[in-house]
Amino acid sequence: MKQLVDYIDILIVAPFFLGYLWVADKFCKKFLGASKRRERLFLILSFCSWLFRNILGRLSSGLYTFSVLSGPILFMGLVVLLFRSDREKRILSAAMLMVPVRLVADFFASFLSCLELFFLHIVKKIPEPFSRDWVIALISGAGYCFAILAVCWMSKHLVPVFCGKPRRWYVILAVPILVIVIVYDVASLGAGNGIMVRSEGNMGLYYDQLFSLAEFLVLDFLSIVATGFYVFGMNRIYLEQEKSDQYRSQVAVYKMLTEQYRQSERLRHDMKNHIIALLALSRNKEWEKIDNYLKNMEGTALDAAGDLTGNKAVDAILYQKRRQAEWENIKWESDVRMPKGCCINEFDLCVLFGNILDNALEACGRMRGDECRFINIQAKTVKKCFLLEVKNSMDRTEKYPDGFTHKGDSQEHGIGLLNVSDVVNRYNGAVHKEAGKGIFVISILMPLNDTAHDIKTAV
């Protein structure tokens, strides 16, 4: 019975830690994926290793050091071994899950311990209060409750961090987080029995405990803030870099399409001369030369039938995307009427139509060949505003969070929609996205007044 009392604090904390493992398992399942059997194995092995390390740490100070330092290694090993996805992504997931269980849980546990000491000293009038083991266990359990809330928050807000990044991104992100966790564990070991600041007996045990807990609070807070700023700051830098790279590639595409359209204009201008030349070849029955001549014309022609919108850049984009759709057996419907004297810069129109249609073609391409695949484009003027609406079919199992899609490691969709949003915001417009019943719809409304956009910002 005495041995059971010695370990009562571990028994009290155990259900709270099991709750943390449950949400950690859901976190890994969301971003990594795993079978039911491996999920159960992760829960069982993680809990057993935690229980074994806590019991082992009670035997001697050396074993306590080993139990503390081996915890992150064992946890990371289980995540890497039992879940799917890229190894680098699994390492980042394990590192991110260590932050709540180390920093968030200890921060709130230290805060609650301070409140308890204040209560015992001020209300109970105990000169040098000291927390009992079962109270410390309950406070630790409360800390795990806050860690559970932190993991739930991370599951909702870390989608942009985990979606559509290269492998080196996950390594760059994981290493500093692991360093922060290791440094914190070393600082915890250096604290000894929870006393980091001592007054050499001048101020008493009460103030020694308060100073120690305050130091832990500051260390936890700074570590949490540093981790948050690093993760979301790096994600912001990555997105800005990707947007910049995509803009440069779109400039090249825009120039290519413009040149292609100029060639088509020249071809139409010289059509009379071409007809005369073909008639001459026909009279002489030079069929091979006629065939070669027509092939050369086909290579430079822009068959814009059905896509004459009143804007050359938009015509060129629609022609290119329509040909790709026809090649992939995607039904194409287009009714685009560009307003005369449109104040929207041609390059910005290229960004809008190009990104939206690329996403639509990708969504149709991921569907099975026997499913009905279509793209419908509507654009017109509505009450001095330019309205663009694109509908396309999509896989019914696919989900579209705001700005990103669940497309494995694909990076382009989210960045493309960010570029679209940037253009629309420059013109004081609005974007609406909706997905359901196998159809994705994006609608854009932009005012057509000249003051809506500063032309100096155009590419």
Q: Do residues 361 and 328 touch, judged by C-beta distance below 8 A?
A: yes
Residue 185: closest CA among 93, 66, 60: 66
**Chain segment 79-90, per-residue pLDDT in tens:** 999 998 888 999
**Chain segment 183-205, per-residue pLDDT in tens:** 888 877 766 544 455 555 556 67
> Above 60 in pLDDT, residue 302?
no
Domain ranges of the chain: 2-245, 304-457
What class has domain 304-457? alpha beta
Where on the phi/psi map is residue 310: left (φ > 0), alpha (ψ -120 to 50), or beta?
left
Q: Do residues 119 and 67 touch, judged by C-beta distance below 8 A?
A: no
What would the 3-class secondary structure string for the chain be? Answer: CHHHHHCHHHHHHHHHHHHHHHHHHHHHHHHCCCCHHHHHHHHHHHHHHHHHHHHHHCCCHHHHHHHHHHHHHHHHHHHHHHCCCCHHHHHHHHHHHHHHHHHHHHHHHHHHHHHHHHHHHHHCCCCCCCCCHHHHHHHHHHHHHHHHHHHHHHHHHCHHHHCCCCHHHHHHHHHHHHHHHHHHHHHHHHCCCCCCCCCCCCCHHHHHHHHHHHHHHHHHHHHHHHHHHHHHHHHHHHHHHHHHHHHHHHHHHHHHHHHHHHHHHHHHHCHHHHHHHHHHHHHCCCHHHHHHHHHHHHHHCCCCCCCCCCCHHHHHHHHHHHHHHHHCCCEEEEEECCCCCCCCCHHHHHHHHHHHHHHHHHHHHCCCCCCCCEEEEEEEECCCEEEEEEEEECCCCCCCCCCCCCCCCCCHHHHHHHHHHHHHHHCCCEEEEEEECCEEEEEEEEECCHHHCCHHHCC
| Greater model confidence, 299 or 25 | 25
pLDDT-derived band at 252 (thresholds 50, 70, 90) equals low
pLDDT-derived band at 175 (thresholds 50, 70, 90) equals very high
Percent of the chain at pLDDT above 70? Answer: 79
pTM more than 0.85 = no
Task: Please list the residues that pair with 378 across neighbouring strands.
Answer: 335, 389
Cα–Cα separations (whole angstroms), residue 450 to 25, 310, 385, 422: 54, 19, 12, 18
Percent of the chain at pLDDT above 90? Answer: 26
Range 345-366 average pLDDT = 86
For strand 374-381 and strand 430-436, is the pairing parallel, antiparallel, or unpaired? unpaired
Q: What are phi and psi of 433, to 5 degrees?
A: -120, 140
pLDDT at 261: 62
Average pLDDT of the residues of the chain: 80
CB neighbours of 437 closer than 8 A, spacing ≥ 6?
396
> Above 90 in pLDDT, residue 458?
no
Torsion of CA 173, 179, 181, 187, to 10 degrees: -160
Q: State the Cα–Cα distance between residues 10 and 15, nearest whole angstrom.
A: 9
**Chain segment 111-155, per-residue pLDDT in tens:** 998 998 888 888 888 888 877 888 888 999 999 999 999 999 999
> Above 90 in pLDDT, residue 168?
no
